[in-house]
Amino acid sequence: MPLSPEEINEIRRVLGREPTVEELAMFEAQWSEHCSYKSSRILLRLLPAESRYVVVGPGRDAPAVKLFKDFVVVFKIESHNHPSAVDPYDGAATGIGGIVRDILTLGAKPVALLDMLYMGEPVDPHANWLIRGIVKGISDYGNRIGVPTVAGDTWFDASFNTQPLVNVACVGVAPLNNIVLGSPRPGDLIVIMGNATGKDGLLGSSFASKPLAEDTDKEIGAVQVGDPLTEKLLIDSLQILVSKGLVKYIKDLGGGGLTTAISETCADHGLGAVIELDKMHTRQKLVPLELLVSESQERMLIVVEPSRLREVEEVLTSYDMPYSVIGYFTEDGLIRIFYKGAKVAEVPAKELARPRAVRRASHPPAEALKGLKPVYSLPQEPSYIESLVKLLSSPNIASKRWVYEQYDHEVGVRSVIKPGLGDAAVLRLLDGSLRGFAVKGDANPRYTSIDPFHGAANSVAECFRNLVAVGSKPIAIVDELNAGNPEKPDHFWYFEMMLKGVAWMAEELGLPVVGGKVSFYNEDYRGRQVKPTTTIVGVGRVQDVSKAMTMDLKEEGSAIAVVGVTYPELGGTEYLYRLFGLEEGEIPRPRPSSELRNAMFILKAVGMNMLNAVHDVGVGGLAVALAEMAILGNMGIEVSVDRIYARGVQRIDEILFSETQARYVVEVKSARVEEFKKLARRLGVHISIIGNVLDKPVFTISKGSKYILSADLSLLRDSYNSLERVIEGGV
Amino acid sequence: MSAHLVEVIITNKSGVRDPEGETIHKHLILKKGYSMVMGVRTGKYLLMTVSASSAEEAIRVVKEVCEKLRIYNPIVHDIEVRLHT
C-alpha cells in the first residue's frame, strides 16, 4: 500500500526535509500494516501477556516461556495468506521458512511445525488447486529442513475459495541458559547471513497490506521461492554459533527486509547504525533502494562483537554459508545508509520503526445481527444416523489423514501421540527425562464470522481444552487474527471484537498471549472479506509423556462419561450448516469458569490413572466426539441420551449436536468409576456416565428402551475417512 | 487422426529463483571444478502422446490441458510446448 499524503507529510516532519527515494522506500516498507501494526497496535495492548513463566514476551521475533524451570519453549504463529493465494506451493513453503527463522532468533532448536489452513471448498477447481499446492508446499519445505509437522487445523468454506488463510506455527525448545537474550551495543558488527539478496519479494509486505488485485499476474515481484536447503544450513550453523556464545542478538529478515530488521533492532535498543549497502552479498545487480527493501528469503541478521568476528567467520565458512559484514551500531539513534561511499539515507530509527498508531473507525455491519438471533424454529429433526453420517463426512470434521500423511510427522523421534489420535500433539523434550510438551492450533471461522467476540473466545477455549485432553497443563498461547480491510469500519469491527474476545478469554483462563500476528486485507477484488478468523496456538506442559492421553477407546466394558453440562446451543454449529444450510444464531457461549473447573478435573483424573481415553467436545458436538473415539479405537459403544446431563433442551438433536463449550468425553476404567464420581463431586463438576464400550463394532444410542441411532462402525469409519475422496475426486 | 508427441517444459520465470538449480550448480558442479558452468536452471518435463488431426491441433490440446488442469502456475512458471523431434 503506497504511503498516504498525510504519511508523506509526517515523514517530512520527522526528517525536517524532503525524503530521498531510498528513505521513502524504507518508510513505505516499515510503515506497511504488515510490519508496523499501525492499525492494530492500540488494541493489541489489551492482550494479557504476563505470567510467572514468561521469559520473553511480545515484541521480539518470538517469545519464550518457561516449560520447566530449566527449559523454555519458543513458539510463534505467522500467516502467509496473500502469497499463498497467488502461488500456493511457494507461498505456503516460504511461510514455513519465515516462522522457523523467528524461532531461531532466540537460539532455540525448531522441533515442530503446525499448519492451520482455512481453505475453499474442495469441489471448487480453483480452491482445490490451492489446497493441493498449499499442503504440498508445507510438506516439501518442512520435510526438507527436517522439522516434523505435528498438528494443525483445517476448515473448508466457500469464502476462502480464492483467498485462503495459511497460518503456520513453529515450536522450538532450548535449555533456559542457552537462549540468546543479549542486546547489541554501539560498535557491535551487523552481519547478514544466508541467501544472496535479489529482486524477489520487493516490497512484499506492502503487497500483503492491500487487497489482491484481480489480475495477480502483475504481482510477480511478490513471488518468492522457498529454499529449504539454505534454511537447513541456517538452522545448523546458528545452533553452533549460539552454543559457542558467538552471537549477541539474532533477527530474521522477513517482511520489510533489511529496513525492518535494522530499524526494529535499533529502535528496541535505543541505537543507531551505519550500513554500507554495497557490502551485501547479492544475486544480481541491485540499486540501493532494492537492497533496502528486498524480502529475499532465508536471510538473517546476527550481531557480533568485533573481537569474535573471526570465530564467527570460521563457523559460517565451514557451513558454506554466505554472509557479509555490512555495518555497525552507533549510539546516536540514527540509521545512516551508504552506497559506495555516498550517503543515500539518514533516518531516526525510532520514528522509522514505530509510525503513529491509528485508531481505526469501527462499526458493526447489519449482518452482525445474525449472531444475536436465538435458534428456536428449526424444521423437524432429520434421522440421527443421516445427521451423524453427514457430519462425519463434512470436510471440517472428517479425518485429516489426507493432509498429515503428506507430512513427515516423525522425524526427530519426539512425537508421542501421532496426528489424528489425540486432541493435541505431544512431544518429548529428549533430555533423557520423561518431560515433554503438548501443542495445538485451533480456529472456527464460522463462529468468528457470526459472533467475532465470542467466537474468538471459543478458539482460546478450544485450544485450552485440546491441551488439557492429552493431559497437559496449558501455559501460554499465541494468536493470529485474520481480518478484512482495516480502513473499512465494518471490517475493522470484526478485528476489534475478535481481539477483545481473545483478550477476555485469555485473561479468564490465566493464559498469557505471548505473541501473535495480525493479517489484514483478507478480502477479494470485489471488496468482500473472507470469514474473519482467529487462530490460537497453545503450548502445555507434560510432566510424564508416558501418561499422555489419546482419544481412541481402548477397553471393553469400561464406562463412557460426559464431563460438563450440555445446553441447547445449535447456533453456528456444523449441524445447523450441514443439515439445514444455516450459518447464524447465537453461537455456543464461552464458559471460562466451567473450562477451568472441568480442566482441573480432567487433569486430576488423568494423573490418578482413572482414564483410558479423553476427547474434547468440539465441532459436531457429542455424537461426533463419541463416533471419533469409537472409530479410532475400533470399538463399539452403547450409550443412552437420557443420562446426558443437559439443561433446557427440547429436542434430541440439541443433545447430540450442540457444540456447548467446556465439555469432554472420557473413557473411565471400569474398576475406577466410583472414584471418578467421587472426584467429580469433590470438585463440583457435572458428569454423566452414559454407557459402555463394547467389543463388537456397533455404535448405538438409545432413548428409554428404544434405539434412536444404531450403525455399523464401518459405515461411520467410511464417512470419517472421506476427505481424500473429496479432494482427490473433487475436480 | 494420428499420434503426435508433444513436449512440455515448465521452468520458473526468469525473474523467479530456482533454489534446486542453484544448489546443483553451487554444491555439485562448481565443487567438482567445472567453473565454466555459469548457471543451472531446473524444470519439469512432460511428454504427451496426443491423438489429433494435425500437429497444431495436438499442441493446442496440450496447451489447454496445461492451463485448465493447472499443470503449471502462469504467475510463477514459463511454459514451452513443442513437437518432439
Residue B38 sits at the chain A interface (C-beta within 8 Å):
no
User: What is the pLDDT at residue A398?
Assistant: 94
Nearest to A225 among B12, B70, B75 (CB): B12
Gap from B85 CA to chain A (nearest CA, Å):
32
Please report residues of A whose CB lies closer than 8 A to that of B73: 87, 89, 133
Q: Which of the residues A220, A232, A296 would you substitute to probe the B interface, choosing the one with the greatest number of B C-beta atoms within 10 Å?
A: A220
Rounded to 5 degrees, φ, ψ at A297 are -80, 170
What are the CA-CA distances from residue B80 to residues A414, B6, B47, B50 (Å)?
45, 10, 12, 16
Residue A227 sits at the chain B interface (C-beta within 8 Å):
yes
Rounded to 5 degrees, φ, ψ at A31 are -90, 5
Comparing CA positions, the residue from A560, A544, A551 lying closest to residue A667 is A560
User: What is the pLDDT at residue B15?
Assistant: 79
For residue A192, name the pLDDT band (cuts at 50, 70, 90). very high
B12–A89 CB contact, under 8 Å: no
For residue A411, name the pLDDT band (cuts at 50, 70, 90). low
User: What is the pLDDT at residue A216?
Assistant: 46
- For chains A and B, CB pairs below 8 A equal 44
User: What is the pLDDT at residue A412?
Assistant: 61
Question: In chain A, what percentage of residues exceed pLDDT 90?
Answer: 88
Q: Do A532 and A485 meet the contact criterion of CB atoms below 8 Å apart?
A: no
Q: Does residue B51 lie in a domain region?
A: yes
Residues A567-619: tens digit of each pLDDT: 999 999 999 999 999 999 999 999 999 999 999 999 999 999 999 999 999 99
Buried b (16+ CB within 10 A) or exposed e, A325-335: bbbbbbeebbb
Query: Which listed residue (A80, A82, A454, A615) is catalytic?
Result: A80
Residues A24-76: tens digit of each pLDDT: 999 999 999 888 899 999 999 999 999 999 999 998 999 999 999 999 999 99
Q: Does residue B72 lie in a domain region?
A: yes
Given a cut of 70, whether residue A222 has pLDDT beyond it is no
Residue A319, all three cell numbers: 557451513
Nearest to B75 among A86, A129, A199 (CB): A86
Q: What is the topology classification, in CATH, of domain A549-731?
A: Phosphoribosyl-aminoimidazole Synthetase; Chain A, domain 2 (3.90.650)
| Domains held by chain B: number | 1
Q: Do A376 and A586 meet the contact criterion of CB atoms below 8 Å apart?
A: no
Residue B11 sits at the chain A interface (C-beta within 8 Å):
no
Boundaries of every domain in chain A? 549-731
A597: buried, middle or exposed (CB in 10 Å: 19+, 13-18, 0-12)? middle
Residue the block writes with cell 490418578: A608
User: What is the pLDDT at residue A211?
Assistant: 59
Given a cut of 90, whether residue A141 has pLDDT beyond it is yes
A336: buried, middle or exposed (CB in 10 Å: 19+, 13-18, 0-12)? middle
Q: Which of the residues B75, B77, B78 would you substitute to probe the A interface, choosing the one with the greatest number of A C-beta atoms within 10 Å?
A: B75
Q: Does residue B37 lie in a domain region?
A: no
Gap from A728 CA to chain B (nearest CA, Å):
13
User: What is the pLDDT at residue A466?
Assistant: 98
Confirm whether A80 is a catalytic residue.
yes
The mean pLDDT of A520-548, rounded to a whole number, is 95
Residue A427 pairs in a beta bridge with: A415, A437
User: What is the pLDDT at residue A413?
Assistant: 74
Comparing CA positions, the residue from A46, A115, A30 lying closest to residue A78 is A115
CA angle A621, A624, A625 (to 5 degrees): 80
CATH number for the domain including B48?
Answer: 3.30.1280.10
Q: Are strands A513-519 and A473-482 parallel, antiparallel or unpaired?
A: parallel
State the Cα–Cα distance between residues A117 and A92, nearest whole angstrom: 10
The mean pLDDT value of chain A amounts to 94
Residue A90 sits at the chain B interface (C-beta within 8 Å):
yes
Q: Which of the residues B11, B17, B26, B44 would you substitute to probe the A interface, choosing the one with the greatest number of A C-beta atoms within 10 Å?
A: B17
Residue B80, all three cell numbers: 514451452
Find the domain containing B10 and state its range.
2-16+42-83
For residue A729, name the pLDDT band (cuts at 50, 70, 90). confident
DSSP annotation of A230 reads H
Q: Are strands A706-712 and A698-703 parallel, antiparallel or unpaired?
A: antiparallel
Confirm whether A34 is a catalytic residue.
yes
Residue B39 sits at the chain A interface (C-beta within 8 Å):
no
Please report residues of B whose CB lies closer than 8 A to that of A299: none
Q: Do A572 and A446 meet the contact criterion of CB atoms below 8 Å apart?
A: yes
pTM: 0.94
- In sequence order, the 6+-apart residues with CB closer than 8 A to the CB of A6 are none
Nearest to A223 among B22, B23, B75 (CB): B75
Q: Does residue B53 lie in a domain region?
A: yes
The mean pLDDT of A162-166, rounded to a whole number, is 96
For residue A200, name the pLDDT band (cuts at 50, 70, 90). confident
For residue A695, name the pLDDT band (cuts at 50, 70, 90). very high
Residues A635-685: tens digit of each pLDDT: 999 999 999 999 999 999 999 999 999 999 999 999 999 999 999 999 999
Residues A300-347: tens digit of each pLDDT: 999 999 999 999 999 999 999 999 999 999 999 999 999 999 999 999
State the Cα–Cα distance between residues A26 and A689, nearest whole angstrom: 63
